[in-house]
Amino acid sequence: MKMAKIERIEDLPGVGPAAADKLVEAGYKDLMSVAAAAPGELKDAIGMGETSAKKIIMAAQDAMEMGFETGIDVMKKRELVGKLTSGSSELDKMLGGGIESQAITEFYGKFAAGKTQITHQLSVNVQLPKEKGGLEGNALYIDTEGTFRPERIIQMAKGLDLDPDEILENIKIGKAYNSDHQMLLAEKAEKIVVDENIKLIIVDSLMGLFRAEYVGRATLADRQQKLNRHLSVLGKIADQHNLPVVVTNQVMAQPGLLFGDPTAPVGGHILGHKSTFRIYLRKGKGEKRVAKLVDSPHLPDAECVFSISEDGVRD
């Protein structure tokens, strides 16, 4: 007997309408989120035994074809990776040619380090032809701190001799008011990527709302679970739609550190593992900024200097 194809949460064995509603309410809104869940999380979400939760997760993983592929298959997929220019050839060189698609790139640093400036510049650059370092597509911008400024986009568009109105028209902005809304916007992004020709997703900033809502050690586990699901959604979009996801992040001080820079990104190990590339930004003299590649799967640690002028991000 042929097994019915599993396409939705409701199709999973042992998940009826009531259990499906509970899963959605708990944030498991698609097969990928269920497939990536831990049995303990799922058990608590829908009130069932751990054995049943494991069966549901395994069925979701099978439906998502989360099995093995050859190194050749992976190499073919890597050949499709696009590179988006930052506007600075030095920064692009440090990143192996630009911001990679199929990856999450994190920029973190103190205020005025240039994080939001870079996201604005990337929103413009993604619309450029591929021969000029663009991806010939539109940008989706999740703004959690109210820092998106169309006036800055206009300056940057003029700096590249582009039509400011057309550039602004091709940037879709979603303002998030809390962490749940932020997660919802990422899920909605997945639904419009193809129709709106989205080739870049930005979250500025990733941790601001999570950090404000989850205060103290007692809330840390809940915060990290939600953050994990949020990043899984973003990572899946990047991978399945071959586009770059760029997130900015806040920092904290490590007062117990006796040597070196005490500045560290917030978000813990989950964000550290989920970010494909991590770049630490700090302010230099005047327009100059320093970027340090802290983590990458295949590039060496490196540092470069770029500038932020009225025209945008430049060498």
Span 183-205, pLDDT tens digits: 999 999 988 998 999 999 999 99
pLDDT-wise least confident of 60-64, 74-78, 217-221, 293-297: 60-64
**What are the structural domains of the chain?**
9-63 (1.10.150.20), 73-314 (3.40.50.300)
Q: What is the mean pLDDT of residues 233-261?
A: 85
- For residue 77, the one-letter residue type is K
Q: Which pLDDT score is estimated for 262?
A: 67
Strand order, beta sheet including 244-249: 171-175, 138-143, 198-204, 244-249, 103-109, 277-283, 288-295, 302-309, 312-314
Three-state secondary structure call for residue 83: strand
The helix or strand, by DSSP H or E, that contains position 142, with its residue range, turns out to be strand 138-143
Q: Which pLDDT score is estimated for 1?
A: 39
Of residues 301 and 260, more confidently modeled = 301
- pLDDT-derived band at 24, boundaries 50, 70, 90: confident
pLDDT-wise least confident of 43-47, 74-78, 290-294: 43-47
Of these ranges, 24-38, 82-96, 225-239, the one predicted with the greatest mean pLDDT is 82-96
